[in-house]
Amino acid sequence: MPAELRVDPGDEQRFYELADALLARLAAEIGELQPSPEALHRSGEMIGDSLLEWKWRYGDGRLGHWTAADIDEYLLGFFPGQMPSEDQLVADAPACVSEFMRFLDHRGQLDGDSAEDLAAHCEALREEFRAAAFDRRRWGISKTFAMQMQAEGMDPSDPEALQRWMADFNSRPFEERDRIIGPALVGRLGEPNLETPKGDSDRLAEGLSRLTDARLDNGMAEIEREIAAEIRHARELLHSALPGEWDRKPPEPELSQACEAIRAGLDDGGHPFDWIRRAGGVGAGQQNSDEELIVRCVAGTMSPTEETGLDPGVEAMIMSLEDADWLGAVVSAVRSGPGSPADPASLVAGIHSCKEVDVADDYDPGNDGFVEAAFEILSPAWLALQVVDAAERLTPLGAWALPRALALVWSD
């Protein structure tokens, strides 16, 4: 396989250069086909783009190396979780994946399984893939919101429409909101049950354990000392990783405008401000400066100061995010700067690319999906706090508030 098709997880510029070049060539070849297959003409570039994105962010970074196992993960995992489950796109996807493999093979850039074996595997998965794509339990939360907007006649790519829809959604009764996002949460967590938590993730079990009132045993004092030392080390890493950050003034008018909206949301209540208020300890009517308000609200989403009122399983997922997860996600996002992707997948990628985070050699990549799901829970709150914009990109206010909120969480 040509070495130039291998891209490191943190090399975003290199990835987009290679992906753009490949997709431009793919588009040219589609245009040259006579007659052009309808599925490839309709959806080929979109599927090709998402295949490359998945291989870079979630796979091994070898954009030309594909196996049947990769196809399984893309068609049965990534696509149902993040790609639009529209009838035509779902119908086109297996054929488009097959043709993309043949495209790489024709260019001499396919390594791994043969193009024909991969094409046969795509066809064999067609029915299972279709069922997965329309199973709402497999959808991510961001996708769930986007699909619901489309079902209600709204354009999720329109930032103003998204803001209006989110405001309306947050005012709906809990039962209606749960009907919409509940299946996605159940798919990630299993049915919530504090006594017998569902799922096989140690991270979820750890998060649930933090919510209990277990008595201190004789070894707890030593454990607390170890935890305190770890937090001090994490705080030192945070400050040293962003040396020019701490004297920077907050962006205006972004801060004052955001805090005006936040105060209105806290006063009115409704999701997500109901749980933001409890998590950050910022009750309606409290007198906080703008800087204190935004930092305390964001810190509350990272480490709630009290029970949030969220489903116990959902709250457990937030609590199960570890110090290293937060350090890597926040430092990488701030280094990338305002306008950079801050969606859950990008935050997880940031953990792996952050030089201050030492990922163990025996780390199970399967945990990434759980971490991403935890960040997805925070997406509506971060949008409401204007940490991210409607396209889930870091805002100037978010770049200022995130490290300060994390420093507050790790303060003495």
Q: Is the pLDDT at 64 greater than 70, yes or no?
A: yes
Give the highest mean pLDDT range of 91-95, 157-161, 323-327: 91-95
Tokens for 90, please give them.
Answer: 């779902």
Q: Is the pLDDT at 1 greater than 50, yes or no?
A: no
Q: Is the pLDDT at 3 greater than 90, yes or no?
A: no
Comparing 40-54, 117-131, 178-192, the range with the smallest average pLDDT is 178-192
Average pLDDT, the chain: 81
Percent of the chain with pLDDT over 90: 31
pLDDT at 248: 92
> In angstroms, how far is CA 269 from the centroid of its own chain?
26
**Which residue in 320, 313, 342 sits closest to 402, CA to CA?**
342
Q: Where are the domains of the chain?
A: 3-134, 141-189, 205-211+224-409
For the chain, count helices (H), then strands (E): 20, 2
pLDDT digit string, tens, across residues 250-305: 999 999 999 988 888 888 777 788 889 888 888 655 677 999 999 999 999 998 88
* Cα-Cα-Cα-Cα dihedral sign, residues 222, 296, 316, 352: negative
Q: Is the pLDDT at 209 greater than 50, yes or no?
A: no
**Which residue in 26, 124, 140, 22 sits closest to 83, CA to CA?**
140
Phi, psi of 9 (to 5 degrees): -55, -35
Mean pLDDT of 353-375: 80
Its pTM stands at 0.58
pLDDT at 32: 73
Cβ atoms within 10 A of the Cβ of 290, count?
A: 17
pLDDT band of 7, cuts 50, 70, 90: confident
More confident residue, 185 or 96: 96
* Rounded Cα–Cα distance for residues 279 and 336 (Å): 27
Give the highest mean pLDDT range of 28-42, 217-231, 335-349: 335-349
pLDDT digit string, tens, across residues 65-92: 999 999 999 999 889 988 899 999 999 9
- For residue 66, the 8-state DSSP code is E
pLDDT band of 407, cuts 50, 70, 90: very high
More confident residue, 331 or 369: 331
